Amino acid sequence: MELLRFGLILNSCPRICLKDYFNMSFAKQHTIQFRNLGELAFEDEDGQMLSEIDTQLELIKSSTDLGDCMVSMNIGNFLLYQSQITELKVRDISIRIDDGWLPDVENRDIIDFNDKFDGEIYIICSDSSKEKCKYLAMLAQILLTQFPNMNTLKIDEGVQSIEQYKVVDCLNLTSKLQTLQITLMNLENISFYQKLIQTSKNTIKQLDILLTYSMPNDSGMQDNPKKADPMFTILENSLILESLRIISLHVFLSQKEVNIIATFRNLKHLVINGFTAGGREFDTLFQQEFMGSLANLEYLEYKAALEDPVKAFQGPHRSLMRLSFIGKTNSMDPENNFKKLTTRDVDAIVAGKRFGFTFESKFTDPFKVYSHATLVDNFEDFGACPTEIH
């Protein structure tokens, strides 16, 4: 008996000639879906480019949902197969800087100009390429120049501290980025990221900053957090920015930066996750602007110190549909390290919120029922800073 259909869903494409797969005869129809495409999709058994590469590309395009597929390669292979990647018209590309061959990144012509690409590019440094990662900024500049309509840029410094980037022209360009995600290991390259944000200040809708800063003595670092140079002050009064996410355990925002958040009047999504200096700056921000300049917030996640969450979050907010609050205290006792909200606190915060409002926090009575709101008791460990921003 012959199968009517045989389909494969693979995380990555092995070194295989798809023509041979589709010529198999044990089913009337063969399909295949790849989540990721690497250099193996374009190589034969000897690691050379397939002699029938055009046929391979056509079979990939006809059988794979490329909207649900990411091309993931190191920089050398990306340059080698960039014409094939362009032909596939994928929208997600991940480029690794690793121990492999590093091209002359001072020459922007190493990457073909492509004004049709309007998707996402993710640049990451591998664990063992610290020295070569100094050129990450140059690669980002080239990509912004050669992919002028790129929608999203994500930069991840990896797990090793990177020294000062090598920069050619200090980002003398204007980009059309709508989403920018930056994952830093230290504060050495703040000036570069400031300029990177500036290139897209007229288009950026979402800014994510994740600082995975590490020190030999983490506890001491939390007792004496560092203040970074402001990264997003250039966006002050932006009416375009809709989402801001700042995640860090070891660096807190300056009063100036907190004040600037209040100027983002069209902000819909705000995440503050980490250590802040006592929380007083944010107490003031929320008490003054929660139903003022922050009245368009639909999602608020605040996981840091806050002296009075009731004063911060009470009132009939016109837009808020989800509030996630994990209040860190100064207690050294793990059992009391997080603020638990009493029923009276919750009543005051929930009152006046929209129908369907969800409140996630730690409660003394997590089973209290409200006609228009849902409580979600949060048991997660605050002690570890997330490694990803979703």
- Domain coordinates of the chain in residue numbers? 1-68
What tens-digit pLDDT sequence spans the chain (390 residues)? 667 877 778 888 777 777 777 777 677 777 778 888 999 888 888 888 988 889 889 888 887 788 888 999 999 999 999 999 999 999 999 999 887 777 777 778 899 999 999 999 999 988 656 677 788 888 999 999 999 999 999 999 886 656 666 655 556 778 999 999 999 887 778 888 988 999 999 999 999 999 876 544 343 444 455 555 568 889 999 999 999 999 987 666 778 888 999 999 999 999 998 765 555 888 999 999 999 999 999 999 998 888 899 999 999 999 999 999 988 765 555 555 678 899 999 999 999 999 999 999 999 998 999 999 999 997 654 443 443 433
- As given in the structure block, the two tokens for residue 314 are 């009470």
**Global pTM value:** 0.86
- Packing angle between helix 136-146 and helix 190-199, nearest 10 degrees? 10
The pLDDT, as a whole number, for residue 44 is 85
**Tokens 């989402």 label which residue?**
243
The pLDDT, as a whole number, for residue 219 is 39
The pLDDT, as a whole number, for residue 160 is 63
The pLDDT, as a whole number, for residue 169 is 58
